[in-house]
Amino acid sequence: DIVMTQSPDSLAVSLGERATISCRSSQSVLNTSDNRNYLAWYRQKPRQPPTLLIYWASTREFGVSDRISGSGSGTDFTLIISSLQAADVAVYYCQQYHMTPWTFGQGTKVEIK
């Protein structure tokens, strides 16, 4: 199984400041046949299902704020929230869909400092 490891487990950021979350996979999720990284990011607010933010490591889902961006390739990925707002308080998960079983990172809790 591909193990996904996020860091940090939690972070507190001041309003308007940048939040950076890292995600590392135990093996590459880059598919060399299509040159795509099979990596997604989700946000989950309390008592709600997760919502998709980013797929193919850097493609923003329709309707997601351009303050949110994803980058990385192979085994190392980053999610950036460029200017934190109160609505961004949530738990963020990375997920690989390169090979089953699909696996998620343990989650990163983002709070306001």
Report angle CA 43, 44, 48 to the nearest 5 degrees. 140
Q: How far is the CB of 15 from other proteins (least distance, A)?
A: 26
**Would you say 64 or 74 has its CB closer to other proteins?**
64
Q: Tell me the torsion sign for CA atoms 71, 52, 104, 6.
A: positive
Q: How far is the CB of 17 from other proteins (least distance, A)?
A: 25
Q: Which residues bind other proteins (CB under 8 A)?
A: 1, 40, 42, 49-52, 55, 61, 93, 95, 97, 100-107
Q: How far is the CB of 93 from other proteins (least distance, A)?
A: 6
Spell out the alpha helix ranges (H) of 18-92. none
Q: Residue 89 carries which DSSP code?
A: -
